[in-house]
Amino acid sequence: MPDDAAALPAPRGLSDAATRRRNYARRYAWFVVPAAVVVVSVIVFPWLFTLYVSAHDWHLGSARRFVGFDNYVKLFGDARFGWAMARTLYYTLLAVVLPMVLGIAAALAFHRKFPLRGLARTVFILPMMATPVAVALVWTLMFHPQLGVLNWLLAQVGIPPSMWVYAADSVIPTLVMVEVWHWTPLVMLLILGGLASLPVDPYEAAKIDGANAWQSFRHITLPLLMPFIVVALIIRTIDALKAFDTIYVITQGGPGQASETINIFLYLQAFAFYNVGYASAVVVVFFAIILALAALLLWTRERVKQT
C-alpha cells in the first residue's frame, strides 16, 4: 500500500498523511456502531417506511392498496390541508417574530449587571423546561371566559374580556401567547451567549467618538450579533413549525377547525381517522419543508463557525 502511494504522481507525504488519516478515522467507526443501529431502526427506518406508506391507500384495520402518488395529488386539492398550512404559517410567523423581539430585549437586559441577576435569569428560563402539558392545562383554566384569571386582569386595566381560545379569531394569537411564554427563554439564552462573546474594543472606540447608546447598539452590537440572531431565528422557526403539545392539549384544533395546524391535521388523519396512508403523505410534505430549513441551519452554523 505505501508502495502504491509512492508510485502516484502526488507528493508522497501528502497522500501518506491522507491514507493515515482515513485509517485512523476508520478505527473510531466502532464507537458509532451501536448508535447507528438505533438511529437506523428508530429514526431512518420510520422515514423510509413513511415514504412507503404514503404511496398506499391504507386505513388501519383494513387492507392496503398501492396508489402511487394519489395521496399527494389528493393533498394538494384538499382545502382542509390548505387551511391547515395557512394557519401553520400564520402561527409560525407570530411565534417567531414575538419571541425573537422579546428574547433579544431580554438578552440585552440580562447582559447588564444588576442585583439578583442570577436568580432572575433562572426564573426566566423556567417556562422553557416545564412540562408543556402541565403548563397548557393551567393556561386552559386561565383562559376560561367567565371564571378565568386573565379576563379578571383585563377588567382591572379597563380592557373588555376576551374569548381567548374559545373564539375562532382569537384562538391562534392566544396559542401564540403560550408559545411566546414557553420559548422566549431559549432565544434569550442563544442571544445572551452571543453577547458574552462580543469584543470590547469597538465600544470603547465608539465612546471616544461620541456615539450614544442607541448608535453603538445599532452599528456595533447588532451587526456583530447577526450570526447568533440567525441561528436563533432558524431554531425558533423550526420549533414553531413543530408546535403540537400545547395546541393539542388546549384546543385540539378547535373551536371548529380554527386552530388546526398541520401537526393537528396530521394527528387527526393518522390517529383519529386511522387514514395512515394519507397522513404519511402529509408527513413527507411537511418533512420536506423542515429539511429545507435544516439545510439552512447547517449552512448558517458553518458560517458562524468560520467567523
Partner 1 sequence: MNRHRLKRRLTDAAFGLSVLVLVSPAVLVFLWMLSLSLKTELDNTAFPPVFIPDPPTLDNYREVFARNDFLLYAWNSVVVSFSATGLALLIGIPAGYGIAKMRAVRAAALILIARITPGLSYLIPLFLLFQWLELTGTLVPIVISHLVITVPIVVWVMISFFEGLPSELEEAALVDGATIWQAFRHVALPLARPGITVATILAFIFSWNNFVFAMVLAGRETRTLPVAVNNMLTFEQISWGPLSAAALLVTLPVLVLTLLAQKQIVAGLTAGGVKGA
x-marked contacts with partner 1 along 49-88 as a string, rule CB under 8 A: xx--x-----------------------------------
- Should residue 294 be labelled a site residue for partner 1 when binding is judged by CB under 8 A? yes
By CB under 8 A, what part of segment 119-148 binds partner 1?
Answer: 120-135, 137-142, 146-147
Which residues pair with residue 65 across a beta bridge?
57
Q: What angle do CA 297, 181, 176 make, to 5 degrees?
A: 75
- Should residue 102 be labelled a site residue for partner 1 when binding is judged by CB under 8 A? yes
Other Cβ atoms closer than 10 A to 46: 12
Instruction: Tell me the CA distances in angstroms from 22 to 12, 31, 226, one per residue in order.
Output: 16, 16, 36
- Should residue 214 be labelled a site residue for partner 1 when binding is judged by CB under 8 A? no
Which of 11, 30, 63, 169: binder of partner 1 (CB under 8 A)?
Answer: 30
- Should residue 96 be labelled a site residue for partner 1 when binding is judged by CB under 8 A? no
Instruction: Tell me the CA distances in angstroms from 185 to 66, 77, 84, 193, 300, one per residue in order.
Output: 46, 39, 27, 12, 21
Which of 1, 7, 9, 28: binder of partner 1 (CB under 8 A)?
Answer: 28
By beta-carbon proximity to partner 1, the closer residue of 6 and 17 is: 17
x-marked contacts with partner 1 along 229-258 as a string, rule CB under 8 A: --x---x--xx-xx-xx--xx---------
- Should residue 32 be labelled a site residue for partner 1 when binding is judged by CB under 8 A? yes
By beta-carbon proximity to partner 1, the closer residue of 3 and 113 is: 113
Coil/strand/helix, residue 108: helix
Contact by Cβ (8 Å): 274, 194: no
- Should residue 193 be labelled a site residue for partner 1 when binding is judged by CB under 8 A? yes
Report the C-alpha dihedral over residues 76, 79, 81, 86, rounded to 10 degrees.
110
